[in-house]
Amino acid sequence: MLTTTAAILNARNAGLVVPAFNVPYLPMVEPVIRAVVDADAFALIETARLEWIKFECHSAAAVMAEFKKWEDPRHVRLHLDHVPGIDEDNQRVDCLPIFREAIALGYQSIMVDGSRLPLEENIALTRQVVELAHTAGIPCEAELGAVLGHEAGPLPPYEELFASGKGFTDVAEAGRFVKETGCDWISVAIGNIHGAISGVLKDQKKVEARLNIDHLKRLAQVTGIPLVLHGGSGVRREYLLAAIQVGIAKVNVGAEIRQAYEGAFRDTGRVSAAQDAVYARTSWLLSDYFNLSGTREKVTGEIL
C-alpha cells in the first residue's frame, strides 16, 4: 500500500495538495470519507488532542475505531494532528505516551507541535517524536512559528498580525530545525491562522487570511521538505493556489466543515442533517476550492 510519505511527496511533485480534514465529532468521519471517494481524490482524516478535550471525538482510539468502519485505503489515511508540548491553555503536556498509543493503534502519520516551546526545546522534543515515528515506519510532521487562533480570547487585528509578520516562521531557524530534527513535513506560519475553538468565537466566520508567498518561497528553499499549511479554512483561494505551487503539500481544514456540522445540528437536531452538511461542504472544498476532483491517481500512482 502507498505510504503517506509517498502520497505527500507525489502531491508536491505534481503541483497538487493533500487536504487534511479535522473531525471533532465522530459522525463527521463517514461523510468526509464519502466525499473524498466520490470526488476520486486523496485526503487525510485527522484528529488533534484539543478535539478530544474541547469537542466530542473523545480520544485517538475512538477516532481510529470510527475511521476503521469507513476507511478506503485508495483514498484516505488517518493522521494524528496537533499533540503539543505546551497546549492551547499554556499547560505542559506529557505527549510521548500519546504518540506511542497512536502508533500502536495504527495511525499512519503523526504531528508533534512544539511551537510554544523555546527553539531548543522544540528541536529536542521533535527529534524524540521523529525517532518514534521512523522506528514505526511512519512520517512525522512538526511545527515552527506561531499559527495563532486556538488560544482563548480574541486575536489582535489580522492586518496588524500580517503586516508585522508576528509569529511567522523564521527562515534561518527553519533550516536548522529540519536538519536537526529529521522531520518529514513542517507546518509553517506565513499569515495563516487557526479557527477559534473557544466560546462564541468558535461560531464566527474566519478572517479571510492572506499568505506571504515570498516568505514561503524562502522557507521552501531552506527546508527542502514538503510544507504544511494549518488553518486552511478561509484562506483566499488565489493565495492558497500560489502556495501549493511553491511547496505547500498538505493543508489542514477544520473550521469549514466543523461549522457546517454544528450549524446543521443546531438548526435541525439531527445528526443525519449535520452529516449531509459536512458531505456537501467537503465536496465543495474538493471540487471548487482545491480543484482536486479526479486527482487521486496523480497522488497515489494507482489505477482503480
Q: Domain 4-300: give its CATH code.
A: 3.20.20.70
Q: What is the pLDDT of residue 231?
A: 84
- Find cell 481544514 and name the residue: 253
Straight-line distance from the first to the last Cα atom of the chain, in angstroms, rounded to the nearest whole number: 13
Q: Do the Cβ atoms of 129 and 110 come closer than 8 Å?
A: yes
Give the confidence band of 148 by pLDDT, cuts at 50, 70, 90.
low
The predicted-structure confidence for 151-189, as pLDDT tens digits, reads as follows 455 666 767 777 667 788 999 999 999 999 999 999 999
Q: Tabulate helix, strand, coil % of the chain (nearest 5).
A: 50, 15, 35
Q: Which of 69, 81, 8 is nearest to 45 (CA)?
A: 81
Q: What is the pLDDT of residue 167?
A: 80
DSSP secondary structure letter of residue 39: T
Return d(Cα 126, Cα 103) in angstroms, integer.
Answer: 16
Query: Residue 72 has which C-alpha cell?
Result: 478506503
Q: Which of 87-96, 191-200, 292-301 has the lowest mean pLDDT?
A: 191-200
* Dihedral angle computed from the Cα positions of residues 194, 196, 202 and 208, in that order, rounded to the nearest 10 degrees: -50
Q: Do the Cβ atoms of 289 and 44 come closer than 8 Å?
A: no
Q: What is the pLDDT of residue 233?
A: 78
- Find cell 480570547 and name the residue: 153
Q: What is the pLDDT of residue 202?
A: 53
What are the CA-CA distances from residue 146 to residues 31, 59, 192, 290 (Å)?
A: 31, 25, 9, 24
Amino acid letter, residue 15: G
For residue 197, pLDDT beyond 50: no
The predicted-structure confidence for 238-294, as pLDDT tens digits, reads as follows 999 999 999 999 999 999 999 999 999 999 999 999 999 999 999 999 999 999 999
Give the confidence band of 118 by pLDDT, cuts at 50, 70, 90.
very high
Query: Residue 218 has which C-alpha cell?
Result: 524562502
Q: What angle do CA 255, 46, 208 make, to 5 degrees?
A: 25
Q: What is the pLDDT of residue 198?
A: 45
Q: What is the pLDDT of residue 304?
A: 61
Top-confidence residue, 192 or 34: 34
- Catalytic residue list: 81
The predicted-structure confidence for 78-113, as pLDDT tens digits, reads as follows 999 999 999 988 899 999 999 999 999 999 999 999
Domain residue limits, the chain: 4-300
For residue 149, pLDDT beyond 60: no
Q: Rg of the chain's alpha carbons, rounded to an integer?
A: 18
Q: What is the pLDDT of residue 277?
A: 98
Q: At what angle do helices 213-223 and 237-246 cross, to 10 degrees?
A: 20
For residue 142, pLDDT beyond 70: yes
Q: What is the pLDDT of residue 155?
A: 63
DSSP secondary structure letter of residue 149: S
The predicted-structure confidence for 28-69, as pLDDT tens digits, reads as follows 999 999 999 999 999 999 999 999 999 989 999 999 999 999
